[in-house]
Amino acid sequence: MNPFSAKKIIRKACEFPSIETVDWTELFGAGEFFIFVNNAALYSVDLLEISKKFMGDFADRFEPQGISVEHHLIIGRYTQTPFGVHIDDATDRVFHFNLGPVTKSMILWDSQHFAQRYSGDIARSADHVSSIGSVTFDIAPQSAFFLPASYHHVGRSEKGISIVVALAISRKSEQQLLRDASRELQELLPPRYPQASYCQNFEGDAGGTDEMFAAYDAIGLISALQHAQARRRSNKSFTEILPIQIAPLRNLHGVYAVRDGREPIAIKEADGLFLYSGGHRVILKKPESIREFERIACERRFEIYARLGEYSEAVMEVDAMKAWLVATGAARALGEAT
Ligand SMILES: [Fe+2]
């Protein structure tokens, strides 16, 4: 199966009125299949709400400085997951909720014994791991299983299809995760450099050499964090990146104010200042751009003087950054309704 056939299957699955009514056999036949959805709470407000309730006071107390939560949806009929016998990130603890309709099993191995026996903790197929010393836990439908850190494990749903929601609670703070995420995302994705037309059209093609590059992604902050985490333990695949959906901008001359609660998040890295806003990202590298952003963050208002793209490159870049703040919803024209 290639990524495009996966997409077709997702479309077909979405045509069913609810997840309980999906005819998986129609989609996959009678054999094995395995679906692993990262960032699952991004696609379901209900899931996010339930998860928040479940985390309750614990989350209020520890998020975002101490812990973070990511959500996975795991659907399939399989004798073992494609991850094989593996160990999760050492900072993670994972709750599994089996929605059914059949029992799913988790088989655990003590990690020290696993590492000694197989000369390291690298994941391997369950076919090549002895069951001696393992313990099997059956997760009945409508029940939950807590997976502590530091156990090698493999999931199995061989009696039929199980639908499992997993909440992975990471002991890493949001800031640590963000740093990891930004590093990983940079490694994963080639940067797109905006042409001059970027100032006017956020969907403009790449190809210029400006130091500031536009967000090529529609990956929100949380998504980026969750993805970077999930990627480490899954199969290094990457979520499809959507184009930025912003109408062309022609003349933004005017005075703007940063919106309350919509301030961009700024993270200083060695190679520039990362800004996140409305699901998009830019990296400022030129000192004058960074200075101007810091001034805007402090004064919470700014002006755009020029018709975009008509001035020197440096001014243009600063204007592009300001236009980006407007386009991503971080700022609005003074006098405009919130
Ligand atoms: Fe795992």
Cα of 104 from ligand 1 centre, angstroms: 14
Q: Among the listed ranges 44-58, 84-98, 216-230, which one has the minimum average pLDDT value?
A: 216-230
Q: How far is the CA of 152 from the centre of ligand 1 (A)?
A: 8
pLDDT at 2 exceeding the cut of 50: no
pLDDT score recorded for residue 248: 57
The alpha carbon of 151 and the centre of ligand 1 are apart by a number of angstroms equal to: 9
80 backbone dihedrals φ, ψ, rounded to 5°: -160, 150
DSSP category for residue 271: T
Residues 9-31 have pLDDT tens digits of: 777 887 888 888 999 998 888 99
| 115-80-19 Cα angle (round to 5) | 135
Band of the pLDDT at 311, cuts 50, 70, 90?
low
Give distance in angstroms: CA of 154 to centre of ligand 1: 7
Q: 122 CA distance to ligand 1 centroid (A)?
A: 13
pLDDT confidence band for 280 (50 / 70 / 90): low
CA of 259 to the centre of ligand 1 (A): 40
Per-residue model confidence (pLDDT) at position 279: 61
- Using a cut of 0.95, tell me whether the model's pTM lies above it: no
- Alpha-carbon distance of 19 to 44, in angstroms, equals 12
| CA 315 to centroid of ligand 1, rounded, Å | 49
pLDDT of residue 239: 33
- Report CA(89)–ligand 1 centroid distance (Å): 8
User: How many Å lie between the centroid of ligand 1 and the Cα of residue 86?
Assistant: 6
**Structure tokens that stand for 75 in this block:** 């659907």
Query: How many Cβ atoms are within 10 Å of 67's Cβ, its own excluded?
Result: 20
Using the mean position of ligand 1's atoms as its centre, give its distance from the Cα of residue 94 in Å.
Answer: 8
- How does pLDDT run across 152-170, given as a tens digit for each residue? 999 999 999 999 999 988 8
- The torsion angle over the Cα atoms of residues 145, 150, 152 and 157, rounded to 10 degrees, is 20
- The alpha carbon of 201 and the centre of ligand 1 are apart by a number of angstroms equal to 42
Place of tokens 């963050």: 297
CA of 153 to the centre of ligand 1 (A): 7
CA 13 / ligand 1 centre spacing (Å): 25
State which CATH number among 2.60.120.650, 2.60.40.3880, 3.30.479.30, 2.10.60.10 fits the domain covering 31-170.
2.60.120.650
Distance from residue 109's CA to the centre of ligand 1 (Å): 12
Q: 300, 335, 298, 303: which is closest to 322 by C-alpha?
A: 303
Q: Where do the structural domains in the chain lie, given as residue ranges?
A: 31-170, 174-333
CB 109 within 8 A of CB 176: no
Predicted confidence at residue 273, as pLDDT, reads 84
pLDDT of residue 180: 67
Centre of ligand 1 to C-alpha 96, Å, is 10
Q: How far is the CA of 87 from the centre of ligand 1 (A)?
A: 6
Q: Are 217 and 280 in contact (CB under 8 A)?
A: yes
The model's pLDDT over 191-236, given as tens digits with 9 standing for 90+, comes to 444 334 444 444 443 333 332 333 333 334 444 444 444 444 333 3
Average pLDDT, the chain: 75
Burial class (CB in 10 A: 0-12, 13-18, 19+), 327: buried
Report long-range pairs for 228-232 (Cβ below 8 Å, ≥24 apart): 228/177, 228/180, 228/181, 228/184, 228/185, 229/68, 229/70, 229/89, 229/92, 229/168, 229/170, 229/177, 229/180, 229/181, 230/38, 230/39, 230/70, 230/72, 230/168, 231/38, 231/184, 232/89
Q: Residue 62 has what pLDDT?
A: 73
What percent of the chain stands above pLDDT 90? 29
Distance from Cα 69 to the centre of ligand 1, integer Å: 15
Across residues 136-165, what is the average pLDDT?
95
Q: Which of 148, 283, 314, 154 is nearest to 215 (CA)?
A: 283
For residue 217, what pLDDT is reported?
A: 35
